[in-house]
Amino acid sequence: MAGNIKIIRSIKKMQAVSQQMSRKGTIGLVPTMGFLHEGHLSLIRQAKKQSDKVIFTIFVNPTQFAPNEDLSKYPRDEKGDIAKIKAAGGDIVFIPKRENIYPDGFETYVNCEKITQTLEGKSRPTHFRGVTPIVAKLFNIIRPDIAVFGQKDYQQVMVLKKMVVDLDYPIKMIIGSTVREKDGLAMSSRNKYFDASQRKEAICLFQALKTAKQLIKSDSITETVKLRASMKKTIKKICPTAKIDYIAFSDFESLKTTNKVNKNTICSLAVKLHGVRLIDNMKMG
């Protein structure tokens, strides 16, 4: 049975509480933008296995949204989120205010150079400039021993891992597996934007990834140009109106583009469906 859960909104209070907690045991951190689904909750359970206390954060971070993106309508459900976190075993929920995280005159950013220039970074040039400072701030406020992120946001995790190494944060980074719906669609807060018929077409990303993996396994096709062409056909067959942003094959650690699949290759894609942009990825090796 889930125990009591503490809600903290003040940065100073969060700092004080985390300092007290660190004297008694290890701290696990799960940063999110809220509107939680099973994927988020699986990260809490993973953090619980490797730390004594788990702090869960909810903050819809404005700096990682471009002006034409969905900041204003991004789904929110604070009361429901807190109930889910409590049931999953979270100990503290940190919900800071925007004006406290980004006070007037804020102008300090963390920029990871090469690793942010491909995939999401290429399609959304300002995105990671917004992600890295908020996570750096959360790391400084909470001082966790471990931090858990989901593989669905794979490039984001690799960018943050690079930041942790380069800035000498004493934090163990853990990647939780992507949690999927029964039909394979990666769980995402943005899935709520679809109506029933659109939702059926949203599986095109997962089916495209499966297509590539099957071709590698059954037909020994490793040339990424051939795999990409087959994936595009799969997407268009399921959702003729889909707009493919990118389909990329990269080295899992470095994110460098590869022309042939090997055991360390990950395929990532971004597709816009009925006005909703989704991402997904899968190891090919």
User: Whose structure tokens read 């990260």?
Assistant: 43
* C-beta separation of 57 from 34 below 8 A: no
Record the tokens describing residue 105, joined without a space.
Answer: 């005159």
Q: Could you tell me which residues come within 8 angstroms of residue 96 by beta carbon, excluding any fewer than 6 positions away?
A: 9, 10, 11, 14, 57, 59
Q: Is 37 a catalytic residue?
A: no
| Nearest 10 degrees: Cα torsion 183, 188, 191, 192 | 120
Residue 7 Cα to chain centre, angstroms: 23
Q: What angle do CA 270, 274, 279 make, to 5 degrees?
A: 20
Record the tokens describing residue 252, joined without a space.
Answer: 């899992």
Record the tokens describing residue 12, joined without a space.
Answer: 């100073």
Residue of 37, 40, 127, 274 marked catalytic: 40
- Give the count of beta carbons closer than 10 Å to the beta carbon of residue 149: 22
Q: How far is the CA of 31 from the CAs of 66, 96, 104, in angstroms?
A: 20, 12, 23
Annotated catalytic residues are 40
